[in-house]
Structure 1
Amino acid sequence: MNTQAISDKEHKIRSRIISTLLVIGYCCLIMPIYAQSPKPVKTQARVDSDAVENLFFSALREKTVENNTQAADLFSKILTIDPANDASLYELANIKKQQNKFAEAQPLLEKAVAIKPDNEWYWSSLAEVYEKNNDIGKLENVFGQLIRLNPTRADYYFDKANAYFLGNKFDEALKVYDQLEQITGPSDDLILNRQKIYLKQGKVDKAAAGLEQMIVASPGQVKYYLLLAEIYVSNNAGDKAFKVLEKAKTVDPNNALVHLALADIYRERKDIDASFKELQSAFTNPDLSIDQKVRIVMGYFPKFNEPNVRSGALSSALELSRIIINIHPNEAKAYALYGDVLVQDEKYNEAKTAYERSIALNGQIYETREQLVRIELSNNDMDGVIRDGEVALSFFPNQGWMNYYVGTAWLQKKDYKKALSYLKNTTSLEFQDKELLSLSYSQLGDCYHAMQNNKSSDESYDKSLSYNPDNRYTLNNYAYYLSIRGEQLDKAAQMAKHANELEANNASFEDTYAWILFKQKNYKEAKAWMERALTDGKNKSAVQAEHYGDILFYLGDTDAAVQNWKKAKGYGANSPALDRKINEKKYSE
């Protein structure tokens, strides 16, 4: 219930003390009998008493070594002999509670308090059970009993009032707070709890009045101004909140929380410049935690996708991120955040520097290392990907994406064995991320193709498409390699066509489809697609020029064919087959 309630550790210690005292009590009851008669007659009652005593000691021993199952059995046996043994009821109930069997604990504790109504710990344990069982209505009586037993303990009053509050008995809760105030005097907790009730009742003025009194009594305490402003803001009284915060600002001009609250009000008023100035003032205060500052900046990220506000949001986020770095220069998360914002602003080189600084301060944050490697991959810095990626994997070996990045880099460097190693790691580590699995199997297909292992290559491409049938790069590469081998041309044509449907105006995809059509001897349509590729291609492609020449030759335009073969050679193509085409003026495999 209340934060002032008995802790679990304290509860366990007290329960053991009670258990020990109860055992001592049993011994005291037995001792006079020995004193009166050295050779007592063992009546049935005496046998039962001995049995209970022995069982209780045994149960406590089992409980001490945390053998709760055996302890519970022994306490249960005691209760078959002595159903009114309140200590065993209590101990057994506590074991049930540890096992989260609160419904079974409840009748045990209810019986215990009926037998010993003045035992405070029994009632306290029962309160916990009622709370866990959501039997809120019974809590009122429990805390009433606890107050009866310990009338100066403040947390019992708070708990009783809270039970009334949960039951929507607001006036009764307020009366309990009045009783407590007679004992402890006014306090922040009382004010806040009364406010909660007043606001629930819609009595905003009463809720505010208590805080206004506290401000009069302690005008230098800014927290009261902030609480009062929060009440006004929550009840659409922004103007009143603004006046309160302006007063707070005169009391403590550097208070970061006041500046943040004012920033919120200005933002509601659409005064973006004033709001940002208040944020700047708050961020320059080192007492405001970096985590809170980071959360505020992260709040800008959704706005980066809104064209109308993207520029302003980025500018604000960058400025606030720089302030965080200046105020918290030794915090890794400050540089990581700055890097994230720079990435959103497409300033990748600056972001890379920020991430490197963050990693130097704290290398145990995987996300920062991944961001660094992503930038290196996008910059085609394969050496950087391998260097930083392998370091990252030395700390985080089970990260699928990082294995994929490093494998991709080795593939680009044509070290296919190393590429296979990392890409296979990815597929063995990841089971849920279909995007990553599709990409990894696609890269495995490329590796196996380069190693002339066509069977494994085809299997990998098929696996890639099983995870993502729309992986356009898999569709294109798989189709192209099948066409080169002259195998499954219908399947290749279907995949190539689908790749072009997924991404129009891609010269490489168009060239693949044209070449498959050529292999199928559909020269007219092949010519149309190849001309698309030549139009959409940004670079002079030797492969496309040579393919175009091949198509033109079979369409009967030998001169144009030779001209394009020569272009291909001029663009850098160099093969015996191409030389034969030019020299013999005819197509050659």
Structure 2
Amino acid sequence: MRSISLILILILVLVADFGALAQREKRKKGGEPVSKAVRASETEAVFTEGEKFFILEDYSKALLYFLRAYEIDPENAAIAYKIAEVLVKSNKDEDLIRATTYIEQALRLEKKNKYYYLLASNIYNSQGMFAKSAQALETMIKEVPYTEEYLYELASIYLFDKKEAEALKAYSRAESILGINEASSLQKQRIYLDQGKLDEAIREGEKLIEAFPDEERYVLALAETLSQSKQTARAIIYLEKYMKENPTSSAGKMLLGGLYRDSGNEEKSRSIVTELFNDPKSSLNSKLIMLGTYNATLAQARASGKPDSNLEAFVLSIYNKLEQTDP
């Protein structure tokens, strides 16, 4: 009975709403003027009904009410925005095109609402219109205070649009306003590496290390970047300095040992690897990774018909140490 009562109440509310609209249309057709207050009241009533259905995720009904509200007041930015928001839910190409029209109307009427710009950017992105999406965010950041955090999103859009120079500018603007950020610095580093600008890429890594001196991963990441860029000697310098200040770093020892091997300094490599395996506090994971690397090298040597007895003896020795420190 209670559910039936609720349904009857809802029907009565809807009938009342449509009855009011019918009366308005009747007055309009008869030449009777409609006051601004009446128009505003009717718009609010219809818009509120649309919001109810939007919350209930009944988007088709919500759209009907929002469109009706728009007929009453086509100069209302909030209504145009809600129509666009509903249309986006369908993910249909034709609805995205319609949504574009309404969100652009909303922005013509109201230039200080960040949510309008964000929806516009999303709609443009969905249609592959990255230039317009970026422009929406650029305008928002200019017009709406305290929206600088969206510079990171702006940079990402520029990257999608293959505009690395603009992305770098956006990241740098964000950095100047919001401070050094891991995500933006690493992204800038990748862009510079793609452009073959190694010094600029290294500088980005150094900035992270300077800003966050206690973050080991930034030092290791920079050393790996240098190594991958055929700058092993420079990578070793960074790591040796770091290891003097952080002599117990298992990850640092493992990477430095590998870099020594890559540079042909087998003696130093084995020395630091032995130190790593002698220390029971060193990470077991680091030891296992290093042991796996050596085993792969031994297997490759055997497969080529050139077994290395010296290396085999060394690997056996560190394996024995592992059994003692991590039984």
Which TM-score applies when normalising by structure 2?
Answer: 0.64
- Give the aligned partner of residue 43 of structure 1: 33
Report Cα offsets for 1:386-408 as digits up to 9, x if no partner.
xxxxxxxxxxxxxxxxxxxxxxx
Gaps in structure 2 of 5+ consecutive residues: 1-30
Report Cα offsets for 1:196-237 as digits up to 9, x if no partner.
332232111122134445656776553442232132123222
CA contact (8 A) 1:86 1:116 kept: yes
- Give the aligned partner of residue 47 of structure 2: 56
Compared with structure 1, are the counterparts of its residues 42 and 264 closer, same or farther at alpha carbon in structure 2 (3 Å cutoff)? farther
Given the alignment of the two structures, is residue 72 of structure 1 paired with residue 33 of structure 2, yes or no?
A: no
| Residue 132 of structure 1: how far off its partner (Å) | 3.4
SS in 1 for 2:230: coil
Percent of aligned positions that are identical: 24
**Whole-Å separation in 2 of the counterparts to 1:97 and 1:304:** 58
| Residue 98 of structure 1: how far off its partner (Å) | 3.8
**Whole-Å separation in 2 of the counterparts to 1:45 and 1:81:** 12
- Give the aligned partner of residue 77 of structure 2: 86
Given the alignment of the two structures, is residue 139 of structure 1 paired with residue 133 of structure 2, yes or no?
A: yes
| Residue 182 of structure 1: how far off its partner (Å) | 4.0
Compared with structure 1, are the counterparts of its residues 185 and 100 closer, same or farther at alpha carbon in structure 2 (3 Å cutoff)? same
Given the alignment of the two structures, is residue 120 of structure 1 paired with residue 114 of structure 2, yes or no?
A: yes
Report Cα offsets for 1:457-506 as digits up to 9, x if no partner.
xxxxxxxxxxxxxxxxxxxxxxxxxxxxxxxxxxxxxxxxxxxxxxxxxx
**Whole-Å separation in 2 of the counterparts to 1:140 and 1:218:** 31
**Whole-Å separation in 2 of the counterparts to 1:112 and 1:280:** 66
- Give the aligned partner of residue 335 of structure 1: none
Q: Which amino acid aligns with 1:133?
A: Q
Q: Following superposition of structure 1 onto structure 2, how do residues 477-556 of structure 1 map, counting pairs within 5 Å?
A: none
CA contact (8 A) 2:155 2:167 kept: yes
Q: Following superposition of structure 1 onto structure 2, how do residues 436-455 of structure 1 map, counting pairs within 5 Å?
A: none
Given the alignment of the two structures, is residue 167 of structure 1 paired with residue 161 of structure 2, yes or no?
A: yes
**Whole-Å separation in 2 of the counterparts to 1:298 and 1:42:** 89
**Whole-Å separation in 2 of the counterparts to 1:295 and 1:74:** 63
The number of residue pairs the alignment matches comes to: 279
**Whole-Å separation in 2 of the counterparts to 1:236 and 1:45:** 77
Report Cα offsets for 1:66-118 as digits up to 9, x if no partner.
32332223223333444443223322333344444473543332232122222
SS in 2 for 1:308: helix
- Give the aligned partner of residue 22 of structure 1: none
CA contact (8 A) 1:262 1:278 kept: no
**Whole-Å separation in 1 of the counterparts to 2:56 and 2:141:** 34
| Residue 138 of structure 1: how far off its partner (Å) | 1.5
| Residue 269 of structure 1: how far off its partner (Å) | 5.5
CA contact (8 A) 1:165 1:197 kept: no
- Give the aligned partner of residue 24 of structure 2: none
Q: Following superposition of structure 1 onto structure 2, how do residues 247-262 of structure 1 map, counting pairs within 5 Å?
A: 247-262=241-256
CA contact (8 A) 1:226 1:258 kept: yes
SS in 1 for 2:247: coil
**Which one has a bigger Cα radius of gyration?**
1
Q: Which amino acid aligns with 1:200?
A: D
**Whole-Å separation in 2 of the counterparts to 1:238 and 1:177:** 28
CA contact (8 A) 2:103 2:120 kept: yes
Which of 228, 231, 248 is residue 234 of structure 1 equivalent to? 228
**Whole-Å separation in 2 of the counterparts to 1:299 and 1:226:** 18
**Whole-Å separation in 2 of the counterparts to 1:116 and 1:282:** 65
Report Cα offsets for 1:410-462 as digits up to 9, x if no partner.
xxxxxxxxxxxxxxxxxxxxxxxxxxxxxxxxxxxxxxxxxxxxxxxxxxxxx
SS in 2 for 1:253: coil
